Structure 1
Amino acid sequence: MREKKNLHIQVIVLLVGTGLMMIKFGAWWISNSNAILTDAAESIVNVVAAALGVYALYLSSLPRDKNHPYGHGKAEFLSAGVEGSLVLTAGVIMIVKSVYGFTEERELGAIDYGLYIVIFAGVVNLVMGLILKKRGKKVNSLALESSGNHLLSDVYSTIGLVAGLILLYFFPYTWIDNALAILFGGIIAFSGLKIVRKSVAGIMDEVDEQLINELVRHLNKHRKPEWIDIHNFRVVKYGPKLHIDSHLTLPYYFDVERMHDEVEQVNKVVNDFAGEKVEMFIHVDPCIEEACAYCLMEDCPVRKHALKEKIDWNYSNVIKNQKHAYQKS
């Protein structure tokens, strides 16, 4: 259900983006402004990126199969990478064209009408960008979030473009137009580079420290005394879906059934945090005597030492491949 809604949102973005692209090229046609052409050219990228986003969201919504046991979520990272590359390329092309524009003679057209159209398109992009970014963060979808960030970067550049076009309206010199186009071509290229960077991070399974911090805080808040520690904690993103590997230290005298119940309860806490079913593989470790110093079980029948310190779980101690340790002062 969630995947279908994401797909419908991206389809709407594609349709609206196509309409805005045609409107922006109309603005360039009547104004003959390279600065407006920069904005219009990026609209082509917006449409292509939205189409890629639709396909990526369709792929990521497909269920796991024998050839893709972890699902198809990585398609979102590939889509974002292509989108970022297109944005970067569009920015560079516009910079090159604008530099060439200093050597050619041309007259500017109806800048005022072009300005009105650019403002209208900017407002539409602002609304769509905010919706996409909010939805992408809510469902952990890089395809939606990158599309939202892309549209919002358009808005930021549009604000500057509008200011520049107002200047151009009162001082209609082509060198001002070309300078504006170079400036916003650079902004567009930089935003594309950031999208590519985030895409590569997802493909390479780079650690999302913020996500792990939020998840560990949630686990720490709902931890049971029996959960002596969690370590070797790793989170992998498959598009909007998460896969988690972890070690959980439990009392060594628990039988298999009790250990299984504790693992299921950890799973439930994680699922409540994510708002959906998370694939989590937990390796159970038996406690050792040194763990008595930070074990919170008050009724432990085999305790060898008194509790000396409660160790709060945090990013630093859960990612290490070792049990927690009491630090003597």
Structure 2
Amino acid sequence: MDKTSRTHQFFLRLTLVIGVILTLIKFIAWYITNSNAILSDAFESILNLGTGGFALYSLYLSQLPKDRNHPYGHGKIEFLAAGIAGGFILITGLFIIGKAFYNFFEPNEIINLNTGIYLTVFSGSIHLVLGLFLLRRGKRHNNLVLESEAKHLLSDGFSSIALIVGLVLILLTGFFWLDQVVAIGLGIFIIYSGFGLLRKAIAGIMDEADLNLIEEIISRLNNSRHSEWIDLHNFRVIKYGSKLHIDCHLTIPWYYNQIEGHHVISDFENAVDSYCGDSVELFIHVDPCEPPEMCRFCSMEDCQDRKFPMKNTIDWNVENVITNKKIYLQQQ
């Protein structure tokens, strides 16, 4: 396991330990106040502990080396972890809303709100700081497990902010039914957060194309495009956890020998690596150019087999590079 992976695991373990402490604080706050809204916040923290533990285990599995049975590695477990977390978040949100509706008709007495507010401010602040830190690290290392765990913590922190506002309003107005309204609002927010995480997990498991990511990569390639890269098509990106697997068809001059072709491919790989870093595995199918049809779109200045002068080059974009057809043929 590399240093980055060990650091990821360290922060997830630290998050779990802090999460246990903060969850206990929230249940103490609920016991003191008897507030449904605070209880909702505490249940969300329990959920975060469970998903955090599974996230830590899935991160360990995803970093195992490739083997005979898993030639692409174990990165898909990250999507499964995110999906399970999203499902549990949905269930928790529904439970919170159900209990709040019940207490509309069977009111519960709320006491010691000042203490509850102080404890909620403390726990919510720590969740926000931890969540922002993990989210930044997860995006920097393209790690969905860290991102999903960060979103749990951020959702907990944001819900704590809403909870604090609601508790202060109850304290100022004396309208204790607002406790149920706040709980329902938190439940809806939790359901929305869980649905988004579940949607992202399903997209990863189903290998849904990340068009935004492809657009960013293609934009970088356009900016550093070499004249030997005559055409690019059938460009596909698959995510396996924090790893990207890219395959494509690259057209180069037909008369290049294997050594010259290898240099062209190496330059293309370096251009992709400059954006994606060492988290990418690239497979390139080499196509020969087809004179005279492609000559009008080729910028090779010293081409030994040019039949027509260059008319114009065709910029690469998401639509034309993901199509399994040479771009000049798409123009016809």
TM-score of the pair, normalised by structure 1: 0.96
Deviation, structure 1 residue 155: 2.2
The AA in structure 2 aligned to 1:226 is E
Greater shift after overlay, 165-174 or 213-222? 165-174
> In 2, Cα distance between the equivalents of 1:111 and 1:60?
44
The AA in structure 2 aligned to 1:301 is Q
Match of 1:110 among 109, 112, 119: 112
Deviation, structure 1 residue 257: 2.3
Greater shift after overlay, 111-120 or 144-153? 144-153
Deviation, structure 1 residue 261: 2.2
Alignment partner, residue 22 of structure 2 = 20
> In 1, Cα distance between the equivalents of 2:18 and 2:206?
33
Alignment partner, residue 224 of structure 2 = 222
> In 1, Cα distance between the equivalents of 2:152 and 2:218?
30
The AA in structure 1 aligned to 2:192 is F
Match of 2:325 among 313, 322, 326: 322
The AA in structure 1 aligned to 2:161 is I
> In 2, Cα distance between the equivalents of 1:189 and 1:15?
25
Alignment partner, residue 268 of structure 2 = 266
Q: Number of matched residues?
A: 329
> In 2, Cα distance between the equivalents of 1:309 and 1:40?
62
Match of 1:311 among 314, 319, 324: 314
Alignment partner, residue 294 of structure 1 = 297
| Distance change >3 Å, CA 25–CA 183, structure 1 → 2 | same
The AA in structure 1 aligned to 2:258 is V
The AA in structure 2 aligned to 1:308 is K
Deviation, structure 1 residue 213: 1.0
Deviation, structure 1 residue 326: 7.8
> In 1, Cα distance between the equivalents of 2:216 and 2:12?
28
Alignment partner, residue 167 of structure 1 = 169
Contact 1:95 1:186 in 2 (8 A): yes
Deviations 1:204-225 (A, max 9, x none): 1111111111111111122211
> In 2, Cα distance between the equivalents of 1:188 and 1:327?
45
> In 2, Cα distance between the equivalents of 1:61 and 1:313?
34
Deviations 1:278-327 (A, max 9, x none): 21110011111221111110000000111111222111111111111189
2:126 corresponds to 1:124: yes
Contact 1:129 1:151 in 2 (8 A): yes
> In 2, Cα distance between the equivalents of 1:327 and 1:180?
55
> In 2, Cα distance between the equivalents of 1:136 and 1:127?
14
Deviation, structure 1 residue 103: 2.3
The AA in structure 2 aligned to 1:297 is M
State the secondary structure of the residue aligned to 2:95: helix
> How do residues 47-196 of structure 1 correspond to structure 2 at under 5 angstroms?
47-196=49-198
State the secondary structure of the residue aligned to 1:279: strand
Match of 1:234 among 233, 236, 248: 236
> In 2, Cα distance between the equivalents of 1:296 and 1:165?
67
Deviation, structure 1 residue 38: 0.5
Alignment partner, residue 275 of structure 1 = 277
The AA in structure 2 aligned to 1:195 is L
Deviation, structure 1 residue 328: 7.9
2:207 corresponds to 1:208: no
Identity %: 47
Name the Cα RMSD after superposition: 1.5
The AA in structure 1 aligned to 2:303 is C
Deviation, structure 1 residue 31: 0.6
> In 2, Cα distance between the equivalents of 1:71 and 1:159?
40
Deviations 1:217-252 (A, max 9, x none): 111122211110111000000000000010000111
Unaligned runs of 5+ in 1: none
State the secondary structure of the residue aligned to 1:243: strand
> In 2, Cα distance between the equivalents of 1:234 and 1:119?
46
Contact 2:221 2:271 in 1 (8 A): yes
Contact 2:45 2:156 in 1 (8 A): no
Contact 2:320 2:330 in 1 (8 A): no
Contact 1:212 1:235 in 2 (8 A): yes
The AA in structure 2 aligned to 1:138 is R
Unaligned runs of 5+ in 2: none
